[in-house]
């Protein structure tokens, strides 16, 4: 990988707009297809963005070098927030996104 390359994987209706700006896109129809594309391209790109509505299989099967998961208009499950929460807990041992008695919870 000699130069920094970026790709966005997601539903065609959502990723096509990024192609207008010169970003490489891979339209997919479901999580299975997104996982297959991710596996094929993971060593070719320095930044892989996967839209949340098709990221489920990637989040279930990939443990290292996760792509950047972005929420989109087709997802309502907050998968990216849950993945970030698990990552913070693993690294810091604290749930930074927890609601409750912190400074802002008073």
Q: Categorize the per-residue pLDDT at 86 as very low, low, confident or very high, splitting at 50, 70 and 90.
A: confident
What Rg value do the Cα atoms of the chain yield, rounded? 15
Distance of alpha carbon 72 from alpha carbon 51, whole angstroms: 6
Tokens matching residue 91? 């690294």
Q: Categorize the per-residue pLDDT at 99 as very low, low, confident or very high, splitting at 50, 70 and 90.
A: low
Domain definitions of the chain by residue range? 6-75
56-77 average pLDDT score: 83
94-104 average pLDDT score: 60
Q: Categorize the per-residue pLDDT at 66 as very low, low, confident or very high, splitting at 50, 70 and 90.
A: confident
> What's residue 58's pLDDT?
93
Q: What percent of the chain shows pLDDT beyond 90?
A: 42
Q: What is the CATH number of domain 6-75?
A: 3.40.50.10580
Distance of alpha carbon 105 from alpha carbon 5, whole angstroms: 41
41-46 average pLDDT score: 93
């Amino acid at each position: 990988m000699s130069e920094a390359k970026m790709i966005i994987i997601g539903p065609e209706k959502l990723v096509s707009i990024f192609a207008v700006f010169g970003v490489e896109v891979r339209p997919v129809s479901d999580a299975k297809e997104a996982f297959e594309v991710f596996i094929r391209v993971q060593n070719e790109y320095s930044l892989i963005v996967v839209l949340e509505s098709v990221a489920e299989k990637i989040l279930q099967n990939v443990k290292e070098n996760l792509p950047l998961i972005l929420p989109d208009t087709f997802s309502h499950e907050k998968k990216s927030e849950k993945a970030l929460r698990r990552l913070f807990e693993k690294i810091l041992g604290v749930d930074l996104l927890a609601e409750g008695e912190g400074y802002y919870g008073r």
